[in-house]
Amino acid sequence: MTKDRSTLRILVLLAVLFVLVFICLKQVRSQYPGEYPKILPEIGGTFSFQADRIEIVLTEQPKSGVVFVFAYDEGNNFLGILKPVTDRKVVLGRGDLADVRAPVKGQEVGEPVFLKRMDRYAEKIDIFEKVVQAHDRGGRYGVQRCLHPVCTKCVDACKTVISSGDLAIVMGVQKGGFILPEFSKGKCPRCGRCFTDCPTGSIERSPGRQH
């Protein structure tokens, strides 16, 4: 009889423990549901080439109010200039000098070099000429809202969560020459920091799962 009672007590205790663990796990899950990021396609733009200017009409007004107008030179260097957008329009004039240069090898972007220090240019590269040359020889040029290589917030946010170095988000060069984040679903812990920190709206919260 005593033995039966002690067995019963142990079983009840185990059942209570099991229920408690189940409740705690359920609460942890609902507190951190997590969502995957969604990389938006790049902003489109129609280029209109004139003698002393290039007028670009974008498909939408970017969130940050600026875009990178870029062109690749013969050495496969990414040359970019940050331009303000007014009513979806960007004007690139003759004499506009590039702000940044980054070497590109295959799909990988190298360390960027800022061409302007305070009010002096370390190297003067006429980005208008480079865009025209790229257009004439069929090279890569365009406009993008993602501010890489200037901004690395998404990658930095991922690094604060994943310490192993095998990041869920890396920067890569796309077909048209755009430098965009590339996302690996299997590695993503769904912390949400990338789309929270992105200042340009290039990464958004993936639709579907709600809190």
Partner 1 sequence: MKRHFLIINTCGIVLAVGFLIYLCASALYSGYPWSLICYYCKKCNAPCVVGIDPQGFIASSYSNDPNVSMYVTNGRLPLGRAMEVDPSMVVQAEDGKKLSAAAMKRKGVDPGREVLTYRMRAKEAAQLCLSCGACEKACPIGLPISAIVKDLREHGVFRGK
Told to check if 93 binds partner 1 by CB under 8 A, we report: yes
193: which DSSP letter? H
Residue 10 or 98: the one with the smaller Cβ distance to partner 1 is: 98
Told to check if 84 binds partner 1 by CB under 8 A, we report: yes
Contacting residues for 28 by C-beta, under 8 A, at least 6 apart: none
The CB-of-83 to partner 1 minimum distance in angstroms stands at 6
Question: DSSP H helical segments within the chain, as ranges?
Answer: 2-31, 127-137, 153-161, 193-197
How far is C-alpha 207 from the chain's CA centre?
17
185: which DSSP letter? G
Told to check if 153 binds partner 1 by CB under 8 A, we report: yes
Instruction: Select the residue interacting with partner 1 from 66, 155, 162, 191 (CB under 8 A).
Output: 66
117 beta partners: 120
Residue type, 134: A
Residue 47 or 114: the one with the smaller Cβ distance to partner 1 is: 114
183: which DSSP letter? E
Select from 5-13, 23-31, 95-103, 161-169 the region that touches partner 1 (CB under 8 A). 95-103
Residue type, 87: D
Residue 35 or 99: the one with the smaller Cβ distance to partner 1 is: 99
Instruction: Select the residue interacting with partner 1 from 35, 39, 45, 64 (CB under 8 A).
Output: 64
Told to check if 201 binds partner 1 by CB under 8 A, we report: no
Residue type, 198: C
Told to check if 86 binds partner 1 by CB under 8 A, we report: yes
Told to check if 140 binds partner 1 by CB under 8 A, we report: no
Residue 1 or 118: the one with the smaller Cβ distance to partner 1 is: 118
92 beta partners: 54
Q: Is the dihedral of CA 4, 5, 11, 15 positive or negative?
A: positive
Told to check if 191 binds partner 1 by CB under 8 A, we report: no
Q: Tell me which residue of 91, 201, 68 sits closest to 143, measured CA to CA.
A: 68
Told to check if 42 binds partner 1 by CB under 8 A, we report: no
Residue type, 47: F
What residues numbered 102-121 form the site for partner 1, per CB under 8 A? 114, 116-119
Rule CB under 8 A: which residues touch partner 1? 64, 66, 82-84, 86, 91, 93, 95, 99-100, 114, 116-119, 147, 150-153, 156, 197, 199
